[in-house]
């Protein structure tokens, strides 16, 4: 997929994006083994599947214990009318600004003793409709109870005219499994697998990746925080003890060879034999 994204970036003449895609393509491509342990560098790009999986695990470990303590958490979706590619970044910013206005207003009311405090986590996501060639930016949230979910939807509809937001397009439902709900909102910020025929959504049809659309989504989301908490603080982290660096004499460097489907020693060219895909 990264190679296809690089082709799109090259076609658009976006050298910066090409470099980012190359970094993700080579993420953990080279590792060093020392005393039975492997060390490497991550690209940390939000579109890297490896780095996203690590970030996903970190978020689950960080927020699951908190959400699990909420008595009746609710899953909420706040969405607007789909837009064209050239308006996507503008609409994403408006979505984020709209939610910020709701959050700030209720925070002020709460401090004045006139309302409840909104507590939850939110994630920005964007879908692509291959039939209409449109994009649908929206927010997924988990809030502490039903009242907060209703407040968010009511205030969201007040922000937008009926042309941009309808009640039937918004969603709220109780969460019975905190971990499943959390996984749902922290999945990658774009739906890269899309049904070719939107009318047959959910059927046992093949899925396609619309690479050019994905590049448009990634470009529109650049510099925008996809996941964040609101209304509560994290528990204090344990102090991290940084050990003094040690000089290593005996080590081996390995580079992944995509043609051989294996890691190859950079000094001896010997394969690690970690996986024999051909024989399997």
- Are both 60 and 163 inside the same structural domain? yes
How many domains in the chain?
Answer: 2
Return d(Cα 80, Cα 230) in angstroms, integer. 21
- Are both 60 and 145 inside the same structural domain? yes
More confident residue, 280 or 241: 241
Q: What is the pLDDT of residues 218-255, one digit of tens each?
A: 999 999 999 999 999 876 666 677 778 778 778 889 89
Which residues are CB-contacts of 3 (< 8 A; sequence separation ≥ 6)? 25
Q: Lowest mean pLDDT of 30-34, 91-95, 98-102, name the range.
A: 30-34
- Are both 117 and 61 inside the same structural domain? yes
The per-residue pLDDT for 257 is: 86
DSSP state of 262: E
The 3-state DSSP composition of the chain as helix, strand, coil percent (nearest 5) reads 40, 20, 40
The per-residue pLDDT for 139 is: 96
Residue 241 within any structural domain of the chain: no
Residue 243 within any structural domain of the chain: no
Please give the mean pLDDT across all residues of the chain. 86
pTM: 0.84
- Are both 226 and 269 inside the same structural domain? no
The per-residue pLDDT for 280 is: 34
SS3 (DSSP) at 63: helix
Residue 136 within any structural domain of the chain: yes
- Are both 38 and 161 inside the same structural domain? no
The per-residue pLDDT for 274 is: 63
- Are both 72 and 203 inside the same structural domain? yes
The domain containing residue 135 runs over which residues? 50-230
Q: What is the pLDDT of residues 173-187, one digit of tens each?
A: 999 988 888 888 877
- Are both 212 and 276 inside the same structural domain? no
- Are both 125 and 255 inside the same structural domain? no
pLDDT above 60: residue 276: no
- Are both 7 and 142 inside the same structural domain? no
More confident residue, 44 or 208: 44
SS3 (DSSP) at 194: strand
């Amino acid at each position: 997929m990264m190679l296809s994204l690089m082709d799109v970036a090259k076609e658009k003449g976006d050298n910066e994006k090409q470099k980012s895609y190359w970094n993700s393509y080579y993420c953990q491509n080279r590792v060093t083994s020392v005393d039975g342990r492997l060390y490497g560098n991550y690209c940390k790009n939000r579109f890297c599947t490896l780095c996203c999986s690590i970030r996903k695990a970190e978020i689950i470990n960080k927020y699951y214990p908190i959400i699990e303590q909420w008595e009746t958490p609710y899953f909420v979706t706040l969405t607007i009318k789909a837009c064209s590619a050239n308006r996507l970044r503008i609409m994403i910013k408006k979505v984020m600004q709209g939610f910020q206005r709701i959050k700030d207003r209720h925070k002020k009311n709460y401090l004045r003793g006139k309302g409840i405090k909104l507590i939850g986590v939110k994630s920005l996501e964007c879908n692509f409709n291959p039939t209409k060639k449109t994009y649908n930016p929206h927010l997924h949230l988990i809030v502490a109870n039903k009242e907060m979910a209703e407040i968010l939807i009511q205030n969201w509809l007040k922000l937008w005219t009926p042309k941009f937001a309808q009640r039937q397009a918004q969603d709220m439902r109780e969460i019975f499994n905190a971990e499943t709900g959390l996984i749902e909102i922290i999945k990658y910020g774009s739906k890269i697998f899309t049904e070719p025929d939107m009318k047959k959504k959910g059927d046992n049809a093949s899925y396609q990746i619309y690479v050019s659309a994905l590049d448009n989504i990634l470009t529109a989301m650049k510099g925008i925080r996809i996941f964040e908490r609101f209304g509560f603080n994290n528990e204090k982290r344990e102090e991290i003890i940084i050990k003094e660096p040690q000089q290593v004499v005996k080590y081996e460097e390995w580079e992944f060879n995509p043609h051989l489907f294996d890691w190859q020693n950079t000094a001896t060219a010997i394969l690690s034999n970690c996986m024999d895909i051909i024989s399997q």
